[in-house]
Amino acid sequence: MDNNESEDVLTLSVEIPFPNSRIAEVVLNTLIVDSEPKRGGTIKTLKVIDNKLIGYFVGTNISSVRVSVNSFFENIHLISETIQLLGEPVSEKYSHFENA
């Protein structure tokens, strides 16, 4: 499976619950900006349903999917720690999305 010749499509769906939907949104907004490395060919789709972040990974190269999923978890860990340090978001909504 760990070569580029395989045409089998590998999919992985991950569901991560957060204390509330606002935090799930913060995590989504933080993660959604970074694109996956082009060479790996893995496609990552993220969305929030209620307090859950849902990550959907599709790829043909198992090692590149693994890299994507690993970095997904590492980032979520880092974001969670950041929220633990600083506390909950101060506002109901982020007001600077369309600043430019």
Partner 1 sequence: MVIAIGFEGSANKLGIGIIEDDKILSNCRRTYISPPGEGFMPKETALHHRQNILAVLKQALDESGIKPEEIDVVCYTKGPGMGAPLACVAVVARTVAQIWNKPLLGVNHCIGHIEMGRFITGADNPIVLYVSGGNTQIIAYSRKKYRIFGETIDIAVGNCLDRFARVLKLSNAPSPGFNIEQMAKKGTKYLPLPYCVKGMDVSFSGILTYMEERSKKLIKEGFTPEDLCYSLQETVFAMLVETTERALAHVGSKEVLIVGGVGCNLRLQEMMRIMCKERGAKIFATDERFCIDNGLMIARAGLEMFKSGSRMKWEDCGITQRFRTDDVDVIWRKD
Residue ranges in contact with partner 1 by CB under 8 A: 26-27, 29-31, 33-35, 74-75, 78-79, 81-83, 85-91, 94-100
- What single letter denotes the amino acid at residue 57? F
| Closer by beta carbon to partner 1, 2 or else 87 | 87
User: Cβ of residue 9: shortest distance to partner 1, in angstroms?
Assistant: 26
Instruction: Return d(Cα 26, Cα 50) in angstroms, integer.
Output: 13
Contact 28, 46 (CB under 8 A): yes
- Cβ closest to partner 1, residue 30 vs residue 51: 30
Residue 72's SS3 state is: helix
Between 10 and 21, CB nearer to partner 1:
21
